[in-house]
Amino acid sequence: MRRNQEEVKPKKAPMIFFVLALLFLTCVIAFSIRIQYRRSIREYKRLAESLCDPGSWSITFLIRMVVLKGKVDGLPIRYSVLGSPQGEPYTTSYLLLLCPVMRNFRMYAGSDLSEVDDTIKAELEMLQQIEGFRGVVLSPAASPFLGKLLSRPLGFSYEPGILLWKLGGGAFKAESIRADLAHLTALRGRTV
């Protein structure tokens, strides 16, 4: 009987080691997410105070995503940045203008605009000129839920709107975001 107990003990040791390693890894990930949140929240507050209408903004944190919700000149927006708030060259920013949109449309950097409707072609060409432009997604209310889910970052609303996706530094500059919002507003005027 004693011999059988000795054989069982070595089989439990790798499992215990695995569970402890998994627990340690989970703690390290949770700690790094907390540090990222604490670094980012100051930049988001500063941005919200300089960009949004007074009293209209809030900041939420979902898993690894910090989302600024607010109104700029009465227009409802969502804004988020993936990457360091210090403006690393590879930060990805998302600006969502919540507004009625009549057509479902996606355009990415380098897309051929020869087949695009003339009513929105000029605005799309202007968007392509924005430094760091990666894509724009128009999602009307009639869009399939899965399409909206896959085209928007976590924490963004699934209401109709226009999403601008950019890559590059300067993600926390209010002037740059206002200029991008002006382009989206011009596009909104053509798609309603």
Could you state, in order of their start, the residue ranges of all structural domains in the chain? 2-191
For 138-174, how does the pLDDT look when each residue is reduced to its tens digit (9 = 90+)?
Answer: 888 877 778 777 778 877 878 889 999 998 877 888 8
Across the chain, mean pLDDT equals 84
Task: Categorize the per-residue pLDDT at 6 as very low, low, confident or very high, splitting at 50, 70 and 90.
Answer: low
For 72-122, how does the pLDDT look when each residue is reduced to its tens digit (9 = 90+)?
Answer: 999 999 999 887 666 566 788 999 999 998 888 888 988 888 888 888 888
- Please compute the mean of the pLDDT values over residues 31-59 and round it to a whole number: 87
One DSSP character per residue, the chain reads -HHHHHHHHHHHHHHHHHHHHHHHHHHHHHHHHHHHHHHHHHHHHHHHHHHSPTT--EEEEETTEEEEEEEETTEEEEEEEES-TTT-TT-EEEEEEE---SS-EEEETT---TTS-HHHHHHHHHHHTSTTEEEEEEE-TTS-HHHHHHHS-TT---SSEEEEEEESS-TT-HHHHHHHHHHHHHHHHHH-
Share of the chain above pLDDT 90, in %: 30
- Position 192 scores a pLDDT of 56
Look at the pTM and tell me if it is higher than 0.85. Answer: no
- Position 172 scores a pLDDT of 85
